[in-house]
Amino acid sequence: MIPRWCAGFTLPFILLLSSVFFVSFANAETASPQAEIPNASSQWQTQVGNLNRELGELVALQNKASGEDKLALQLQMFQKNEELRALVASGVKNDSFDRAFLIKQIKQQQKYADQGIKYLAERSSKLSEQLSEAKSEDKFAILSDYEESRKYLDSMYEEQSQNIDWLKRLNAIDEKAEEAFKLEINRRTEQIAANVEYIRQQLSADDAQLKVAPESEKATIQLRQLITQRRMAITTRSLSVMIELSDKVGIETAEYKRLYFEATGSVTQDLLSGDVLLSIIKTWSSKFWNWFVENAPQHIFQLIVFLIILLIARQIANLTRKVVKKAVAAKNLKFSVLMQDFFISMSGKAVWFIGILIALSQIGLNLTPILTGFGIAGVIVGFALQDTLSNFAAGMMLLIYRPFDVGDFVQAGGVEGKVSHMSLVNTTIKTFDNQIIIVPNSKIWGDVIKNVTHERVRRVDMVFGVSYSDDIEFVEKVLTDIITSHPAVLRAPEPMIKVHVLNSSSVDFIVRPWVKTDDYWDVYWDVTREVKIRFDKEGISIPFPQQDVHLHMASGQLPPSSDKPA
């Protein structure tokens, strides 16, 4: 089984580690069991000695091998070393084992880790330089090697920290070496934190550039942003490892934990400590204050400009409504009141909408996504509100063809009454008993529309019946006198008075005077009243339906007696 920290190592690194093994294990003594050592200690020391011997043999074999055989032997060496470290760890826990022998093994591991750290640090630095200079299509391959090197470098630091912990437990630690390792951890943590800050700035710059870049350049920026995000993930993972090691050696890590949280958004148990929270609050408050000092005057000025533009747009919208109102009211245009109201309303709203867009652009808002969003939202709303769009289309047809206007008495959509007002989706009709009925425009446009008051002149149709015994010519004279004497009856067209129908009980006359539309009901009611008065005065009878009932008695039958039987 390949150790977790060497799986996928590149061949140059494996060769270098092999040379370290050669130096470390070629001179290693193979311990033999001693009689005075307890059985458990003897067995442990024998296992360690066997592993050292096997490692020496593998070093010798790999020096003679080549190609894949050489690589396979090197991987076996790493596996043996992992087994050796496991034995060392068990020896540290057991105080009865040979202390001097154990310390020698640990220092051998320290030397091995130092060489690995040095190599991996140099390799990571070179890969970072290559990554900066490489073309975009080659960066992903380099980035994979870079991630691998950083991961193994972190593992080597962890192993070196474990080596120091073992020596501390055995009271064999070199204080200078421990202090040097602490300084190295502190230096590397600071370096990684600086890298995280730099990469964050790169991501912010890419985000800002992506918002304003033309479509032809967005693909390149997005690719660069993807690579930078992956580098951020690699660096923050290393920062997490170094924070953990720094905590072990007593280095203050509150600022580093705050940076890790801001870069990843990951909430850990360490974040809940008071020092970390205080650091986050101080940093954010400082950033907010700096931002406020730098940007507040500009944003306040932009807000003032925004409000001024809205105020001007409102005044222009009102002025536009007045101008459009005068323009559409011109007699030569012959616009209906509904059409006039439509143009007046839409002109004001259009100016107001444009004013809002201009005002938003002054505060730095990009209008392109907003307008695009309106288009997408329009399609979605169109599917969701098909009935409303149908009413809208019907409203436009009503405005264009003008079957009625405000104030007309209509019968439409199953409702009759006076048109109060109309929008693009519905029409409001007020009935004669003062009820308000709102009818969808699609229902009106899809049904028969009867406009009673559209024309300025109307004919009043009335029928009056007289008795068969009355003089027809005299009745015609009386009716003509009533009609011609009414001031609201028009002389042209000429009124019509004719015998219409010879009914079963009356002779019916049709009386059809022409009047102005506004006078229709006044003439109807006045003429009806006057006909009754004049007919009574002139002795003209107005027959009404009646029925005579005749009873015939059959011969030999007596009418029923009203007396009760005795």
Give the confidence band of 490 by pLDDT, cuts at 50, 70, 90.
very high
The mean pLDDT value for 329-349 works out to: 73
| In contact, 123 and 13? CB cutoff 8 Å | yes
pTM of this prediction?
A: 0.48
Q: Which CATH code of 3.30.360.10, 2.30.30.60, 3.20.20.70, 2.40.110.10 fits the domain covering 404-451?
A: 2.30.30.60
pLDDT of 471: 92
Q: What is the pLDDT of residue 377?
A: 58
How would DSSP label each residue in 285-346?
Answer: HHHHHHHHHHHHHHHHHHHHHHHHHHHHHHHHHHHHHHHHHHHHT-TTT---HHHHHHHHHH
Q: Greater confidence, 405 or 130?
A: 130
d(CA 395, CA 385): 15
Domain 457-538: CATH class, spelled out: alpha beta
pLDDT tens per residue, range 277-336: 666 566 667 766 776 667 677 778 778 888 888 888 888 888 888 888 888 777 676 666
What per-residue confidence (pLDDT) applies to 489? 93
What is the C-alpha separation between 341 and 210, in angstroms, rounded?
45
Work out the pLDDT band at 524, boundaries 50, 70, 90.
very high
- Reported as a single tens digit per residue, the pLDDT across 117-173 is 888 888 888 888 888 888 877 888 888 888 888 888 898 899 889 888 888 888 888
- Residues near 223 by Cβ (< 8 Å), separated by ≥ 6? 136
Residue type, 449: I
Q: Any idea which of 105-114, 117-126, 139-148, 359-368 has the lowest mean pLDDT?
A: 359-368
**Per-residue model confidence as pLDDT tens digits over 213-222:** 888 888 888 8
Is the pLDDT assigned to residue 486 strictly greater than 90?
yes
Q: Could you tell me what percent of the chain has a pLDDT over 70?
A: 78
The C-alpha angle with vertex 119 and arms to 128 and 187, in degrees rounded to 5, equals 70
Report pLDDT for 449: 87
What is the percentage of the chain residues whose pLDDT exceeds 90? Answer: 15
Reply yes or no on whether the pLDDT at 464 is more than 90: yes
CATH ID of 278-384, from 1.10.10, 1.10.287, 1.20.120, 2.60.40: 1.10.287
Write the DSSP assignment of 173-192 as a string of letters.
--HHHHHHHHHHHHHHHHHH
* Predicted pLDDT of residue 476: 93
pLDDT digits over 237-264, tens only? 998 899 889 888 888 888 888 888 888 8
Q: Provide the pairing of β-strand 409-412 with 415-422.
A: antiparallel
- Alpha-carbon gap, residue 151 to 127, rounded angstroms: 13
* Mean predicted lDDT score pLDDT of the chain: 79
